[in-house]
């Protein structure tokens, strides 16, 4: 009887361990299996045409983009550490080596960083980047607490006010409050400086889009794929930098309404999708779409391209880590 009980216990333990191993393998597979999206061929990229005399743009993954007129440079978010899935299960902090690598591909001085919201994939590195480039961080109270926790001096922290333009050189940046993409995690506010934090400590707080005006061309940056009716009324953009994260998991009607608000209503002629890449992979490696576990990037891209084709609006990715001239103002 005793031997039988021991054999039963052994079988139970082996079965439990087997199920645990299977669960780990399934989880690993879900983080590795990705949709097939063409992000390599020249046809999908905006070409650096010498005839383009607009602003210079550099895409650095997720929704980080640098716009420059050759004298003044502004950045959105400034997220470069890109901790892996395993690292996200522990405490996460800015990675100075990854930040240094990314900053080698942009102007040495950045005048301002505009942070969309305070999740880690937007705000985590902003303070460290500001201290290395001389930039002023513009963000919500929560985003400023992220930068403050990294030791960013107070003169380099500026709270954003919705609807109040900020003048940076020849740039004029207006902040618009817009919703985060559906399926929000880690909502709430950050009330103290962030130092050693876990993923859930980076609570979203407010979420912003940015209307950037310049004599060389107007750019609307919408980092999160969601919309508020009439949020962009009266704004005319030559280019829309359009977040498509999680768009592939939304209904067709949602994508159409989002497109109408951000693209059709602003009369844009060029759309640059962002927030499509897997931000748990270093920028030292080629950018790849998010795994199916988190998004269906192929479906999101297909919807945007179909809408662009229907409405005669060009859809182009920016080549990562490479400065590209945008078309000049029409």
User: What pLDDT is stored for residue 223 in this prediction?
Assistant: 97
Element (H, E) at 137: strand 136-139
What would the mean pLDDT of 113-123 be, rounded to a whole number? 97
The string of pLDDT tens digits covering residues 146-177 is 999 999 999 999 999 999 999 999 999 999 99
Confidence of residue 2 (pLDDT cuts 50, 70, 90): low
Out of 1-5, 138-142, 280-284, least confident range: 1-5
What would the mean pLDDT of 19-26 be, rounded to a whole number? 52
The string of pLDDT tens digits covering residues 174-222 is 999 999 998 767 889 999 999 889 999 999 999 999 999 999 999 999 9
Which pair of tokens denotes residue 234?
């009266």
For residue 245, how many C-alpha atoms fall within 13 Å in the half-sphere facing its CB? 23
Nearest C-alpha neighbor of 272 from the set 76, 6, 141: 76
The mean of the pLDDT values for the chain is 90
Among residues of the chain, what percentage have pLDDT more than 70? 87
- For residues 223 and 176, give the distance between their C-alpha atoms in angstroms, rounded to a whole number: 11
pLDDT higher for 50 or 104? 104
Is pTM beyond 0.85? Reply is yes
- For residues 263 and 258, give the distance between their C-alpha atoms in angstroms, rounded to a whole number: 8
């Amino acid at each position: 009887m005793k031997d039988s009980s021991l054999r039963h216990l052994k079988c139970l333990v082996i079965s439990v361990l087997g199920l645990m191993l299977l669960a780990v393998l399934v989880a690993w597979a879900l983080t590795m299996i990705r949709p097939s999206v063409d992000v390599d061929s020249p046809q999908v990229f905006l070409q650096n045409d010498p005839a383009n005399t607009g602003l210079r743009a550099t895409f650095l993954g997720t929704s980080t983009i640098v716009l420059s007129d050759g004298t003044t440079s502004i950045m959105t978010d400034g997220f470069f550490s890109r901790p892996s899935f395993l690292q996200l299960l522990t405490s996460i902090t800015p990675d100075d080596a990854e930040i240094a690598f990314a900053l080698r591909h942009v102007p040495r001085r950045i005048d301002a960083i505009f942070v969309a919201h305070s999740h880690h994939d937007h705000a985590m590195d902003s303070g460290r980047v500001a201290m290395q480039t001389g930039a002023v961080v513009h963000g919500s109270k929560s985003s400023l607490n992220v930068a403050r926790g990294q030791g960013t001096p107070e003169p380099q922290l500026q709270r954003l006010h919705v609807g109040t333009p900020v003048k940076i050189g020849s740039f004029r940046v207006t902040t618009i409050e817009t919703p985060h993409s559906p399926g929000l995690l880690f909502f709430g506010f950050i009330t103290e400086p962030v130092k050693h934090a876990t993923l859930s400590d980076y609570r979203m707080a407010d979420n912003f889009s940015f209307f950037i005006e310049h004599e060389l061309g107007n750019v609307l940056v919408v980092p999160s794929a969601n919309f508020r009716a009439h949020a962009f009324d009266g704004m005319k953009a030559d280019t829309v930098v359009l977040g498509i994260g999680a768009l592939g998991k939304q209904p067709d009607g949602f994508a159409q309404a989002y497109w109408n608000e951000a693209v059709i209503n602003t009369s844009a002629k060029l759309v640059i999708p962002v927030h499509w890449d897997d931000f748990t992979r270093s920028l030292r490696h080629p950018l790849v779409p998010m795994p199916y576990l988190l998004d269906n990037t192929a479906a999101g891209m297909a919807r945007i391209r179909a809408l662009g084709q229907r409405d005669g609006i060009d859809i182009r990715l920016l080549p990562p880590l490479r400065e590209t001239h945008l078309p000049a103002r029409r």
